[in-house]
Chains A and B, each alone.
Chain A
Amino acid sequence: AQSVTQLDSQVPVFEEAPVELRCNYSSSVSVYLFWYVQYPNQGLQLLLKYLSGSTLVKGINGFEAEFNKSQTSFHLRKPSVHISDTAEYFCAVSDFGADRGSTLGRLYFGRGTQLTVWP
């Protein structure tokens, strides 16, 4: 089974400051990696995903993430945050190990990081 650890449950920052939300995963097989955002009273929305290729992935709203296989990390970054970025952010992994059929479509989520941007 896979597991995802989001190291910070809450991250407060001031507007226009840079931010990094940390995500580490454990897996014995190759994985696909995702970041989702959840605004208040809404469902989850995909920010970006890593499937293969370049380890630096750019997403919506100016966010990017870097896949580091040796450190099993997929940290999310934004160089300058806005108040509208206040939301909960979820890291998720999906494996494509040997037993493909039984885990088709399964995502393993972290507990989430609440990002609060102050004026």
Chain B
Amino acid sequence: ETGVTQTPRHLVMGMTNKKSLKCEQHLGHNAMYWYKQSAKKPLELMFVYNFKEQTENNSVPSRFSPECPNSSHLFLHLHTLQPEDSALYLCASSQDPVGGRTDTQYFGPGTRLTVL
């Protein structure tokens, strides 16, 4: 399998549930990202990991908890979410964080999350 994969593709959960989103990149990249895509709003950067270390948390509520066990895998653990958290959650990766602004970010297909 190539590129960036995300599972599950669709997730429906209640506000009291705990679930996790998984992202895997098969590109040998060193940086990984979580984005939130809501209707009618620009993509929002949530978290950035470089070499498994979190380098950015963009004021994300604590009910979202990221985990990066290695450079190829990224998780987003969800608990006690709100209906307004319903959105498409996109994972991305890029090659090299050093001078990383020039690096293309490669995106996964996303997980469509619905919170009831």
Same complex:
yes
Instruction: Mark interface residues in B10-43 (1 if CB within 8 Å of A CB, else 0).
Output: 0000000000000000000001010000001111
Cβ distance B56 to chain A, nearest Cβ, rounded Å: 7
Q: Are A43 and B107 in contact (CB under 8 A)?
A: yes
CB distance from B17 to the nearest CB of A (A): 24
A107 vs B101: C-alpha distance when bound (angstroms): 8
Does the CB pair B42–A104 fall under 8 Å? no
Scan residues 46-69 of chain B and give those whose CB is less than 8 A from a CB of chain A: 48, 50, 55-56
Which bracket fits the contact residues of B?
20 to 34
What are the residues of chain A within 8 A of B102 when measuring CB–CB?
32, 51, 94
Contacts of A64 in B (CB 8 A): none
Q: Is the CB of B109 within 8 A of A43?
A: yes
Chain A-chain B contacts (Cβ-Cβ < 8 Å), number: 66
Task: Identify which of residues 62-106 in chain B touch chain A, using a CB-to-CB cut-off of 8 Å.
Answer: 90, 92, 94, 97, 100-106
Q: How far is the CA of A51 from the CA of B101 in the complex (A)?
A: 9
CB distance from A111 to the nearest CB of B (A): 5
Number of interface residues of A (CB under 8 A): 28
Q: What separation, in Å, do the CA atoms of A109 and B106 have in the docked complex?
A: 15
Tell me if B109 and A42 are in contact (CB < 8 A).
yes
For residue B6, which residue of chain A has the nearest CB?
A: A43
> How far does the alpha carbon of A106 sit from the alpha carbon of B45 in the complex, in Å?
8
Q: Which residues of A contact B6 (CB under 8 A)?
A: 43
- Residues of A contacting B106 in the complex (Cβ-Cβ under 8 angstroms): 46
Measured CB to CB, the residues of B under 8 A from A are 4, 6, 31, 33, 40-43, 45, 48, 50, 55-56, 90, 92, 94, 97, 100-110
